């Protein structure tokens, strides 16, 4: 399994047979190396409905006939845009042909904003994602504050690779993310959701260096790791 980081919270997972992308914020993301009109994916996993996470989902899903897996309200909203969806909710797991997805808690908001109409559409609860395939488990925390049940997630799952936001202001910052990394007991931890906007500028290398056991893995944009 090959996992690559593409700026903000965008993570691409390539199994032996499928390409799975998480939170494909590409258009408008100055840090990404991807181009939405050239990207081929089979599955899109969404943590919540904010525009910088839903991103290019509709265009990608339609062009690739990709399945979108998302929290119920968000999946319903996207299905009205003509997208093929599978709705889920926090605490639920489902075994797909490409792997098993389980949604976890995340403490954040979730809504889709239509700027030109000054409209905010409620898209349900935000979530984290546990993705298991080919004997490996990846945890994408989505946008979240630090919360104590991260310890329970770590105790109940053997996490090979965790993606944690460190940007602060909208999510937990480096100090809280360091605690989250310890609670999750993941073998490796990749910082995400930083430097896209001035208010979330952080040093991912400093964060990684502060993690015990040399588990920090500050992937550069476009860089990948094999599991």
For the chain, which residues make up each domain, given as ranges?
2-218
Percent of the chain with pLDDT over 70: 100
Tokens of 24: 């494909």
Percent of the chain with pLDDT over 90: 98
SS3 state of residue 131: strand
Phi, psi dihedrals of residue 34, rounded to the nearest 5°: -90, 155
Mean pLDDT of 94-109: 98
At residue 129 the predicted structure's pLDDT band, cuts being 50, 70 and 90, is: very high
Could you give the CA distance from residue 172 to residue 81 in angstroms, rounded to a whole number?
32
Could you give the CA distance from residue 4 to residue 225 in angstroms, rounded to a whole number?
6
Q: What is the pTM of this model?
A: 0.98
Q: What is the pLDDT of residues 45-86, one digit of tens each?
A: 999 999 999 999 999 999 999 999 999 999 999 999 999 999
What pLDDT score does 73 carry?
98
Mean pLDDT of 12-41: 97
85-88 vs 93-96, strand pairing mode: unpaired
**Among 197, 186, 185, 140, which residue's Cα sits nearest to residue 165?**
140
What pLDDT score does 211 carry?
96
Q: At what angle do helices 72-79 and 57-64 cross, to 10 degrees?
A: 60
**Among 75, 78, 105, which residue's Cα sits nearest to residue 88?**
75
Q: What is the pLDDT of residues 174-198, one digit of tens each?
A: 999 999 999 999 999 999 999 999 9
Q: What is the mean pLDDT of the chain?
A: 97
At residue 5 the predicted structure's pLDDT band, cuts being 50, 70 and 90, is: very high
What pLDDT score does 7 carry?
98
Residue 190 burial (CB count, 10 A): 24
**What is the C-alpha R_g of the chain?**
16
Q: 2-218 architecture in CATH?
A: 4-Layer Sandwich (3.60)
């Amino acid at each position: 399994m090959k996992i690559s980081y593409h700026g903000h919270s965008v993570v691409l997972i390539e199994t032996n047979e499928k390409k799975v992308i998480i939170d494909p914020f590409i258009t408008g993301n100055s840090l990404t190396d991807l181009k939405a009109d050239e990207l081929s994916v089979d599955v899109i996993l969404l943590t919540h409905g904010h525009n910088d996470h839903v991103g290019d989902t509709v265009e990608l899903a339609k062009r690739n006939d990709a399945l979108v897996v998302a929290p119920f309200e968000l999946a319903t909203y996207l299905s009205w845009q003509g997208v093929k969806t599978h709705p889920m909710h926090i605490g639920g797991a489902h075994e797909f042909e490409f792997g098993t997805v389980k949604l976890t808690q995340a403490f954040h908001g979730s809504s889709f904003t239509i700027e030109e109409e000054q409209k905010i559409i409620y898209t349900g609860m935000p979530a984290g994602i546990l993705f298991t395939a080919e004997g490996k488990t990846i945890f994408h925390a989505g946008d979240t504050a630090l919360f104590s049940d991260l310890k329970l997630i770590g105790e109940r799952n053997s996490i090979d690779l965790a993606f944690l936001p460190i940007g602060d202001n909208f999510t937990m910052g480096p100090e809280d993310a360091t605690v989250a990394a310890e609670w999750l007991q993941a073998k490796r931890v990749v910082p995400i959701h930083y430097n896209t906007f001035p208010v979330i500028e952080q040093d991912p290398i400093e964060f990684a260096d502060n993690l015990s056991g040399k588990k920090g893995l500050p992937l550069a944009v476009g860089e990948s790791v094999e599991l």
